[in-house]
Amino acid sequence: MKQMGLILAVLLLALASLCGCETLNKGTVNPHRTQVTIHAPVATGINAPGLFGNETASFSATTTDPNGPFTFDWNFGGAATNTTSTLAQAGTSSVNVTFVSISSPNQFTATVTMTTGDGRQASDSVTFSLGPGGSEAPSIDSLTVNEGVVTVSASDPDGDSLTFQAFLDSGNIDIEGPFNETSTSAQWRLSPRDVLTGGNWTITVIADDGNGGTDSDSLSGGFDAFPLANDTLYAIATSSSTSTGSTVRIAVATGDTANNFQYLNGCGVVCENGASYAPTTFDVGNPDGTPDVGSANPIDGVWADMGATSFLLAPDNFITGTDLGNGSSRTDFNVTPLGGSDITANGILFSFEYTFTSEGTYHLGFEAVNIVSRTYYTDASQSEDFFWSDISNDHQYNVIVVE
């Protein structure tokens, strides 16, 4: 009778096991039921694939148990804040964590405990190595442009001092800077390379924490084409601001002249004292980066339109400033083309650079009359001199701020 009771007890225990009526753990008598497998962590920080303090990683665990839904309790052994996740049916559950800061390399064990929908549990663990010195990437918080000045502001979770770079993605502009730099911000000046045509642009700014962490953002904008009114002379600054000791290129242009045009006499550009002609920067026609000292190569702009083949130009050391006694100086320019024919001129006549020796706000203009007539053009076929109807130079590019 006792033997029959023992046999019955064994049969009941086996039946309970087959029915899943007891709590089973991984590695117990039935490893194919109530089983969970934890995988090695995958680094997602800036120094991935390495695992470092202050950086992020993803942990995942997989189950094939049919009795969902599942709850996963994650314990990272002090390497990160413990957490939970859920899964509706068999598959893989993942969590993202940020490791704590550590001062020296260490090993940690992460354990996941899965609870099935019917209350059974299984656990699995993985050991991983964590290194010190990881850092979180910086974040660009704002990127704006106002009157051609781009401003970036950024932050860094680790308090690192940031450096910034700006790159041109598209557009015909120049990027000057950075300036006004701090550990979290910087600025750049944007200026069109051709103010007469303007155009759209896109730039990318990068913030770097010096420890391999970066963030980037892009910004787009545009410059309107400069409108040249008929028979109006302009002195146009290609940058609205600069720093002491630096230069700004000035383009002198005309709208359609009222009379035929052949050559330019005594074009006197006026600016406050502290601005002076930068030697060898005189360039006839469109600014092309090739100074025209004694000649003009290539022939472009208005002069190409008239078919000029060469020029008579004064030596560069003849381009000097005359103090007008009112806090400003005048610099005279003359352009005499050879060959070609008279035209109604429209476009850039010449350009040059001013050097600024002191801080202040500088205004560009012209002086029409000194001892002899200034700032006029000549119709060679009629041997007559003409003056532009408007040389007031009142426009958006006539002021330069020097800091």
Tell whether 298 and 347 lie within a shared domain.
Answer: yes
Tell whether 87 and 144 lie within a shared domain.
Answer: no
3-13, pLDDT tens digit by residue? 444 444 434 33
Does residue 4 form part of some domain? no
Helix (H, G, I), strand (E, B) or coil at 356: strand
Domain limits for position 286? 233-402
CA distance 297 to 279: 17
Between 211 and 316, whose confidence is greater?
A: 316
Other C-beta atoms within 10 Å of 381: how many?
10
Instruction: Give the range among 70-74, 161-165, 395-399 with minimum mean pLDDT.
Output: 395-399
Tell whether 316 and 348 lie within a shared domain.
Answer: yes
Does residue 5 form part of some domain? no
Tell whether 254 and 214 lie within a shared domain.
Answer: no
148-157, pLDDT tens digit by residue? 899 999 999 8
H/E stretch holding 72? strand 70-75
Tell whether 193 and 272 lie within a shared domain.
Answer: no
* Rounded CA Rg of the chain: 38
Tell whether 75 and 106 lie within a shared domain.
Answer: yes
CA 155 to chain centre: 16
- The CATH number that applies at residue 86 is 2.60.40.10
Band of the pLDDT at 25, cuts 50, 70, 90?
very low
187-227, pLDDT tens digit by residue? 998 988 777 788 999 999 999 988 778 899 999 999 988 89
Tell whether 375 and 303 lie within a shared domain.
Answer: yes
Does residue 323 form part of some domain? yes
pLDDT, the chain, mean: 84
- The CATH number that applies at residue 390 is 2.60.40.680
Does residue 11 form part of some domain? no
Q: In the listed set 223, 257, 291, which residue is the last one of a domain according to the structure?
A: 223
pLDDT at residue 141 greater than cutoff 60: yes
Q: CB of 12 within 8 A of CB of 94? A: no
Q: Give, in order, the Cα–Cα distances in Å from 397 to each of 151, 178, 227.
A: 21, 21, 11
Does residue 318 form part of some domain? yes
Instruction: Give the range among 15-19, 116-120, 228-232 with minimum mean pLDDT.
Output: 15-19
Task: Report the pLDDT averaged over residues 133-144.
Answer: 84
Tell whether 86 and 108 lie within a shared domain.
Answer: yes
**Global pTM?**
0.56
Tell whether 201 and 279 lie within a shared domain.
Answer: no
Q: In the listed set 204, 223, 242, which residue is the last one of a domain according to the structure?
A: 223
Sequence length of the chain is: 403
Sequence-separated (6 or more) residues with CB below 8 Å from residue 339: 307, 308, 309, 310
Does residue 10 form part of some domain? no
Tell whether 353 and 239 lie within a shared domain.
Answer: yes
Q: Give, in order, the Cα–Cα distances in Å from 63 to each of 33, 74, 84, 117.
A: 9, 15, 15, 13
Instruction: Give the range among 24-28, 97-101, 111-115, 198-202 with minimum mean pLDDT.
Output: 24-28
Tell whether 201 and 275 lie within a shared domain.
Answer: no
pLDDT at residue number 178: 93
- The CATH number that applies at residue 196 is 2.60.40
Domain count, the chain: 3
CA distance 250 to 397: 10
Tell whether 303 and 395 lie within a shared domain.
Answer: yes
pLDDT at residue number 14: 41
Q: In the listed set 193, 223, 253, which residue is the last one of a domain according to the structure?
A: 223
Sequence-separated (6 or more) residues with CB below 8 Å from residue 229: 255, 390
